[in-house]
Amino acid sequence: MEQNLDRLKNKKPLSAVEQVIKEIKKMIIENGLKVGDKIPNEFELSTMFGKSRGCIREAVKILDAYGVLEVRRGDGTYVRGSASDGLFDAQFFRIIAMGTNLPDLIQLRLILETGIICAVIEKVTDKDVEELRRITDKLKEAIEAKAPLEQIVAEDLRFHTALVEITGNNILRNVYINMLDIFTPFIQNSYVSQSLASDFSVLKHHELILRAVEERDRDLAVYAIRNSLKDWEKLNLKYVEIN
């Protein structure tokens, strides 16, 4: 885990083009864009992201090559449903573009996170537990300080990212990190519901997961994940009712 964290800390900052690619990906997810939907033009994207038009053009070219976007000359740029073979990240764009729903996402999270937590139980070290505790405390501090929603969600995602890092399985990590982008809007919705009720049940769930990991208790860990996702579903349904 310590080596994984060091590697992450030493990663080079994203280039301007990579930042734009990330922002377009975020835009597709958060705006619920589907196959055939048109995205803003080059000038509009440049204004939105604060990047040069050349930078925007290069990012769009890359996403077009990945099969994520389709540039139609004289018409505009559209979300495309197909993805080139072997381009792993593009497959997740395709999932987004084809549409997602809460029940399917809950089932997917359950499958992924149950597997992750079982792998964590096998490999976790005392240093890993300390790091998870630190991250959990940071989330609690952010909630108590009534930090912006984006900051709170970022702390939540850091906890889940740290768990999958412990597995040491890079393929699993890549799959899960990509899927977190799809889960994130629903995670945000759950925090809106918790904030309105002034009851942040997420802290209780993270504490139980952390306890299970610390005690290397596989059964408790699986129970904690299942319990957390049941609450996640309720919070998202409550969000839909409110809105």
Q: Which domain holds residue 26?
A: 12-93
Residue 110 placed within a domain: yes
Reference 205, options 159, 240, 242; nearest CA is: 159
In a shared domain, residues 165 and 195:
yes
CA atoms within 13 A on the CB side of 116: 26
CA atoms within 13 A on the CB side of 56: 18
Q: Is the pLDDT of residue 4 over 70?
A: no
Residue 2 placed within a domain: no
Compute the average pLDDT of residues 90-116: 76
- CATH, residue 72: 1.10.10.10
Percent of the chain with pLDDT over 90: 55
Relative orientation angle of helices 149-167 and 126-144, to the nearest 10 degrees: 170
> What tens digit of pLDDT does each residue of 148-181 get?
998 999 999 999 999 999 999 988 988 898 788 7
Which residue type, as a one-letter code, is found at position 240?
Answer: V
Q: Is the distance from CB of 79 to CB of 31 less than 8 angstroms?
A: no
Q: Is the pLDDT of residue 211 over 70?
A: yes
> What tens digit of pLDDT does each residue of 10-27 get?
556 778 888 898 888 888
> Please, which pLDDT band fits residue 95 given cuts at 50, 70 and 90?
low
Residue 7 placed within a domain: no
In a shared domain, residues 230 and 152:
yes
Helix (H, G, I), strand (E, B) or coil at 217: coil
**Close Cβ partners of 242 (under 8 Å, ≥ 6 residues apart):** 192, 193, 196
Q: H or E stretch including 181?
A: helix 170-197
> Please, which pLDDT band fits residue 52 given cuts at 50, 70 and 90?
very high
Q: Is the distance from CB of 109 to CB of 229 less than 8 angstroms?
A: yes
Residue 39 placed within a domain: yes
Q: What is the total count of domains within the chain?
A: 2
Q: What is the pTM of this model?
A: 0.66
In a shared domain, residues 83 and 179:
no
Q: Is the pLDDT of residue 58 over 80?
A: yes
Q: What pLDDT is stored for residue 85 in this prediction?
A: 35
**Which of 63, 93, 123 is the C-terminal boundary of a domain?**
93
Q: What pLDDT is stored for residue 96 in this prediction?
A: 56
Q: What pLDDT is stored for residue 98 in this prediction?
A: 54
Q: Is the pLDDT of residue 84 over 50?
A: no
In a shared domain, residues 58 and 121:
no
